[in-house]
Amino acid sequence: MQQTRRRPTLLAAAGALLLAGAAAGVATATEPCGDFGECKALIEINATDGDVGFHFLMDGDDLLSARIDDPIGAKVFEDKAKGPLAEQKLTETFAESAEPLCWADPEADPDEEIVTLEEFLDRWTAGTYLFTGRSEDGEMSEGETELTYELPAAPADVDFDGSVISWAAGDDLGNCASFVELADLVAAGTLPTHPADVPVDAWEIVMEPDVEDGDPVGSLVFSIRVPGDVSPKEVTVPADYLASLPDDTPVKVEVGAIGGEDNATFTEEDGFCVNEDEGCED
């Protein structure tokens, strides 16, 4: 999948357009984490493509090294600054795992790895993850954050009518797991809560030109987060943003459900056309 949330974004907030270099959808901690300004571990699912990944963020001051241990004490990440980076030091570190398919996609390479949701959860233990860092003078920083299996359901009925993006609350994880499969995982004790019952703290909405890599139009991305209780579930795309796109620009829309622990599930729809004149190519 092309990661729309990793690019520079055009953010809309309080009715204004702001050009921002930060990417939407990046792990975002909401409070200090011990000695760190931020730390967070979360699960992100693309329900449309059917893939799942582990993401984390830590933000410390002038670190030479950083490390993460899982709830059973196993090291899952270590980073050391060397050469000019050791002179410059580390501060914020964000990374995401590879995102293997969690289903047998008939269009995928038959040799591509498949990691089912159950296998993924067995790999990434829920509980307290310990973040540690060391500065040049040997001072240690520590912080803890919780990884949970509270996975919000994938948004459903994502649509764009030319000016408004709309969606509905879903009840499954798309290609990663059906409603029934998730109910079985809950019954087996693998999941604590069915995703259909996990509260959504926020919705993330992204519109991106669906163009070839290298096309500068692809950098014009609209992104916004709205509260989980927004009603109706829709966002008006600013006219200024739409006007910034050339005629006949194909676009895709992604809507993400963000849970209380920042676990996120995204649904993507394409095939939309902005500023249609002669029509977008299929």
Domain boundaries, the chain: 4-274
Interval 204-215 mean pLDDT? 93
Q: Which CATH superfamily is domain 4-274 in?
A: Immunoglobulins (2.60.40.10)
Res. 248: pLDDT tops 80: yes
Counting residues of the chain whose pLDDT is more than 90, the rounded percentage is 70
pLDDT of residue 107: 83
Res. 176: pLDDT tops 80: yes
Task: Please report which confidence band the pLDDT of residue 113 belongs to, taking 50, 70 and 90 as the band edges.
Answer: confident
pLDDT of residue 32: 74
Interval 92-113 mean pLDDT? 87
The lowest-confidence range among 195-199, 224-228, 278-282 is 278-282
Interval 53-57 mean pLDDT? 94
Return the higher-pLDDT residue of 93 and 10. Answer: 93
pLDDT of residue 282: 63
pLDDT of residue 261: 85
Amino acid identity, residue 140? M
pLDDT of residue 161: 95
pLDDT of residue 226: 96
Counting residues of the chain whose pLDDT is more than 70, the rounded percentage is 89
* pLDDT digits 0-9 by tens, 222-247: 999 999 999 999 999 999 999 999 99
* pLDDT digits 0-9 by tens, 80-98: 999 999 999 988 888 999 9
What mean pLDDT value characterizes the chain?
A: 87
